[in-house]
A and B are shown apart, each in its own frame.
Chain A
């Protein structure tokens, strides 16, 4: 089994498992499986422009940013400004959260600290273009308070993620 997983690779195995789930659902409820694929196609077309931007960023980060630079600015000894960049980066980045995993994975391999990745991902929840809509539903005061708390807690989230992971690694050693 291990050999098969190694040969196929975990990402493709994951896709095969999802495909199998669809096959099982199609046997019992064909309409639901077709509706699922329709939603998938709709989402896929919608995310294509952002996906193209992320892959362009990935290409240029590989071309222009080396491990040393990542370690210096986003590594263990990074300064307060790096946390600020992670907050702003998370807020202004567009598209669904999972589109950013490949780029962050690449930066993580080059030495980006986990706390900054967590801060970036948490701030993906602060959606500036959607704020007017949110205000319409919940009011200005609520949205303002909520947004401030989200940004503060994003930093706590990043700090806590890093500390927990460090402790886990230390306990394993």
Chain B
């Protein structure tokens, strides 16, 4: 393999790092702030017991939340124990892992603003749709 190619690949990596590292560090700092600002028991207080609005609320707050998906399962389990509807909990954990409001600036800067907005917007709608379909399918399977 020729040395020129290695040098070129190295330069491309440095250029990419110069662009992506400050964005990644910024996103991590924002996640740190968000995790500090929102205590875990906050999520059990946001649902209002409405069949129509709870899935929407779940998807909305799941989109804003950031962190390990495992945390969303634990919170989701707690929400179920507190009587929050299954569809709302599913919308919450789905949007947690598919929509990223906190990383939206990073996604916009690296993959394009339109791409990031369209992808996250569609993922938000799909999180509610999938939750609904899952509940319907589970109802049929039982």
From B23, B32, B107, B123, give the contact of A38 (CB < 8 A): B32
B28 within 8 A of A: yes
Smallest CB–CB gap between A171 and chain B, Å?
A: 11
Could you list which residues of chain B lie within 8 angstroms of chain A, going by C-beta atoms? 1, 5-6, 8-10, 12-13, 16-33, 35-37, 69-70, 73-74, 76-77, 80, 90, 94, 97-98, 100, 103, 105-107, 109-112, 114-115, 118-119, 122-123, 126, 129-130, 133-134, 137-138, 141
The 3 nearest A-B residue pairs measured at CB:
A39-B32, A40-B32, A125-B97
Overall SS of chain B's interface: helix
Given the known inter-chain contacts A11-B20, A101-B20, A106-B16, please indicate yes or no for A22 contacting B29, CB distance below 8 A: yes
Given the known inter-chain contacts A9-B19, A157-B126, please indicate yes or no for A63 contacting B103, CB distance below 8 A: no
Could you list which residues of chain A lie within 8 angstroms of chain B, going by C-beta atoms? 9-12, 14-15, 17-19, 21-22, 25, 32, 35-40, 43-44, 47, 51, 55, 58-60, 62-63, 97-99, 101-102, 104-106, 108, 114, 117-118, 121-122, 124-125, 127, 130, 133-134, 137-138, 141-142, 145-146, 149-150, 153, 156-157, 160-161, 164-165, 168
Given the known inter-chain contacts A22-B33, A32-B37, A43-B31, please indicate yes or no for A142 contacting B138, CB distance below 8 A: yes
